[in-house]
Amino acid sequence: MAKDNQFVSQIADIETDFPQWYTDVVVKTKLVDYGPVKGTMVIRPYGYAIWEIIQNEMDRRFKAAGVENAYFPLLIPMSFMTKEAEHVEGFAPEVAVVTHAGGEKLQEPLAIRPTSETIIGHMYGKWVESWRDLPLRYNQWCNVMRWEKTTRPFLRTSEFLWQEGHSVFASAEEAEKETLDMLRFYEEFAVNVLCMPVLTGKKTEKEKFAGALATYGMEAMMHDGKSLQSGTTHYMGQNFAKAFDIQFTDKNGTLQYGYTMSYGASTRLIGALIMTHGDQRGLVLPPPVAPVQVVIVPVAQKKEGVLDACGELLKRLQRAGFRVKLDDTDNSPGWKFNEWEMKGVPLRIELGPRDIESGKLTVFRRDTLEKTDGYSLSEAETVVSKLLQEIGENLYAKAEKRMKERIVDAETLDELLEGVSKGNFVRAGWCGCRACEDRVKEFAQATARVLDKNHTAKICVVCGKKAEHTVFFARAY
Ligand code: ZN
């Protein structure tokens, strides 16, 4: 049997060995492979197809919101990185630096972008002169590099793909509004495209972006109860405007610094999808992001008329706008069922001589593992449309139920530890001091994910003083 066919085999147990389950799934479904350099991954066509759908869906929404795409260089002069003190300190351990090129030592070392605030800030400094030039709201789709010693495909790799949006406004109010608007943008995307419930909110000082005044995050609960940060937005105030001289003449003729913000979401979203919806059989892809939404598997495909009927159904469903594949390979139907289930295809249609004769369809749902026969072949488009809609809703509902059930409250450190150990998000009071936040990390290996907007806790879970915030604590990827 060909080497590629071996991937329909064992996947580690999802409940007892989730990390190995994840590795098995991403490799065996051919989403990714490991690159020759530690910390790098190769995104294979099936994985890249998911990314392309995410890109298209997000890009369409950005454009509708008035954001424009541009592209900035990969290489950034090291001197740029040092202009914003907190920024350089935050990113220093992760930056890869080019010191030699063209067979010579470079006069000035060049950073490979870990993020592009500095170079975009530099260019905005050149482009912005008057209040009439504002706002600038640009986004770029690109790769970035943050050095990693280990490789966790889609979760932690040195190089990853993302979008980074950078805006500059004339006022703090506008920049702050955009920071919150983009957080809601991500949330809408997570809910409607990834069928993934999320918690959104402000990050603590400790967890915020290096150089920002405020960072907001979107956190999703994975199958094991750990949190995955799936998108962030940052309000910079005038920090970067001052560092990069983004100045404009206001309506009164006075020179002012602009206010900047940025936001990013990456290929981590694919990791989030896998760990939110996956099950023991492998991937479970929500219909809006599934590269193949429907697979048609012929039954007794050598019998006369079967492949023709399957081909006709393929064309009909494609014309109706679905992403459909006909698996007419020589593998047995059982083998095909396993393969496409592992690859998370939402719907499988089985079509054999008996179905064709009776004008019926047999349909298998990946989310519920239920097979139903008796659907009318002539109404295939309507049936598929309805079922894909139901699958998306069901996946969201299941994930939401899990998240709601696994948010628990704690009033003491012991309760907090017990909560996160059992794979929960723990909601607890916090006095706001760094020492208490550090203590949670040390004691329970949990971090403050986001602040709860509906602050209700009375006392700090660590020191017992008055709580200034209510925090969602969790172990995180
Ligand atoms: Zn405290």
DSSP notation for 369-413:
TEEEEEEEGGGHHHHHHHHHHHHHHHHHHHHHHHHHHTEEEESSH
Structure tokens at 18: 């989730």
In this structure, the answer to whether residues 422 and 351 fall within a common structural domain is: no
Let me know if residue 396 belongs to a domain: no
Same domain, 95 and 205: yes
Q: Is 399 part of any domain?
A: no
pLDDT value of position 9: 62
For 368-400, how does the pLDDT look when each residue is reduced to its tens digit (9 = 90+)?
Answer: 999 999 999 999 999 999 999 999 999 999 999
**Quick one: 246 and 383 in the same domain?**
no
Residue 235 contacts residue 176 (beta carbons within 8 Å): yes
Comparing 168 with 93, which gets the higher pLDDT? 168
| Residue in the structure block whose two tokens are 């206010």 | 259
pLDDT reading at 140 higher than 60:
yes
The pLDDT assigned to 215 comes to: 98
Q: Give the confidence band of 277 by pLDDT, cuts at 50, 70, 90.
A: very high
Type of residue found at 160: F
Distance 169 CA to ligand 1 centre (A): 36
Distance 37 CA to ligand 1 centre (A): 43
The alpha carbon of 144 and the centre of ligand 1 are apart by a number of angstroms equal to: 37
Residues 382 and 445 in one domain: no
Residue count of the chain, please give it: 477
- Ligand 1 midpoint to CA 236 (Å): 27
Query: Ligand 1 mean position to 416 CA, how many Å?
Result: 14
State the Cα torsion 325-330-332-338 to the nearest 10°.
Answer: -40
- Centroid of ligand 1 to alpha carbon of 459 (angstroms): 8
Residue 467 Cα, ligand 1 centroid: separation in angstroms?
Answer: 7
Assigned domain for 217 exists: yes
Tell me how far the alpha carbon of residue 457 lies from the centroid of ligand 1, in angstroms.
Answer: 12
Tell how far the Cα of 470 is from the centroid of ligand 1, in angstroms: 11
Residues 235, 357, single domain; the answer is no
Bridge partners (DSSP) listed for residue 451 = 471
Give me the amino acid identity at 205: E
Tell me the average pLDDT across 443-471.
Answer: 96
Distance 203 CA to ligand 1 centre (A): 17
The pLDDT mean for the chain works out to 95
Let me know whether 448 and 383 are in one domain.
no
Residue 7 predicted with pLDDT over 70: no
345 φ, ψ to 5°? -65, 125
* Interval between CA 388 and ligand 1 midpoint (Å): 48
Q: Measured in angstroms, how far is the CA atom of residue 466 from the centroid of ligand 1?
A: 8
In a 3-state reduction of DSSP, which class is residue 346?
Answer: coil
Distance 329 CA to ligand 1 centre (A): 62
CA of 251 to the centre of ligand 1 (A): 46
d(CA 316, CA 422): 48
pLDDT score at 360 = 94
Q: DSSP characters for 38-82?
A: TT-EEE-HHHHHHHHHHHHHHHHHHHHTT-EE----SEEEHHHHT
pTM of structure: 0.95
Domain identity same for 299 and 195: no
Q: How far is the CA of 464 from the centre of ligand 1 (A)?
A: 6
- 337, 355, 387 — which closes off a domain? 387
Are residues 347 and 432 part of one domain? no
Instruction: Write out the E strands in 205-293.
Output: 214-221, 227-237, 247-249, 255-257, 259-266
Domain that holds residue 324: 294-387
Ligand 1 center to 440 CA (angstroms):
10
How remote is the CA of residue 89 from the centroid of ligand 1, in Å? 26
Q: pLDDT tens-digit profile of 419-442?
A: 999 999 999 999 999 999 999 999
Q: Are residues 259 and 349 in the same domain?
A: no
Tell whether the torsion through CA atoms of 156, 239, 214 and 259 is positive or negative: negative
**Model pLDDT, residue 84:** 84
Same domain, 313 and 428: no
pLDDT interval class at 4 (50, 70, 90) = very low
Q: What is the pLDDT of residue 455?
A: 86
pLDDT of residue 44: 98
Domain boundary among 244, 277, 310: 277
* CATH code assigned at 422: 3.30.110.30
Instruction: Tell me the range of 78-82, 148-152, 466-470 where mean pLDDT is highest.
Output: 466-470
Instruction: For residue 100, tell me if it sits in a domain.
Output: yes
Q: Give residue 439 CA to ligand 1 midpoint distance, Å.
A: 9
User: What spacing in Å lies between the alpha carbon of 233 and ligand 1's midpoint?
Assistant: 26
Among residues 420, 381, 195, 405, which one has the least CA distance to residue 287?
Answer: 195
pLDDT at 101 over 70: yes
Alpha-carbon span 365 to 8, nearest angstrom: 19
Q: Which of 324, 355, 387 is the last residue of a domain?
A: 387
CATH of the domain at 312: 3.40.50.800
Question: Cis omega before residue 135 (within 30°)?
Answer: yes
Ligand 1 center to residue 339 CA distance, Å?
Answer: 51
Distance 201 CA to ligand 1 centre (A): 20
- Does the residue 352 lie in any domain? yes
State in Å: Cα 419 to ligand 1 middle: 19
What is the share, in percent, of the chain residues with pLDDT greater than 90?
94
Ligand 1: centre distance to CA 425 (Å): 19
Given a cut of 80, is residue 187 above it in pLDDT? yes
Name the token pair of 405: 């059930």
Q: Is the pLDDT of residue 288 over 80?
A: yes
| Residue type at position 189 | F
82 and 95 in contact (C-beta within 8 Å)?
Answer: no
Any domain includes 124 = yes
Q: Are 201 and 299 members of one domain? A: no
Helices and strands per DSSP (H, E), number in the chain: 14, 23
Q: How many domains does the chain have?
A: 3
Residue 398 lies in a domain: no
Q: What are phi and psi of 128, to 5 degrees?
A: -95, 125
- CA 435–ligand 1 middle distance (angstroms): 7
Concatenated DSSP letters of 22-34: HHHHHHHTTSEEE
CA of 471 to the centre of ligand 1 (A): 12
What's 213's domain CATH number?
A: 3.30.930.10
| Stretch among 175-179, 205-209, 273-277 having the lowest mean pLDDT | 205-209
Residue 128 lies in a domain: yes
- CA 237–ligand 1 middle distance (angstroms): 28
pLDDT at 32: 98
- pLDDT above 50 for 3: no
Please tell me the distance from the alpha carbon of residue 227 to that of residue 230, in angstroms, as a whole number: 9
Encoded tokens for 346: 């939402």
Q: What phi and psi, each to the nearest 5 degrees, are found at residue 111? A: -85, 140
Question: Which residues, in sequence order, are CB contacts of 298 under 8 Å at separation 6+?
Answer: 306, 307, 310, 326, 327, 328, 333, 351, 352
442 CA distance to ligand 1 centroid (A)? 14
73 & 116 share domain: yes
- Residue the block writes with tokens 């450190």: 413
| 350 pLDDT higher than 90 | yes
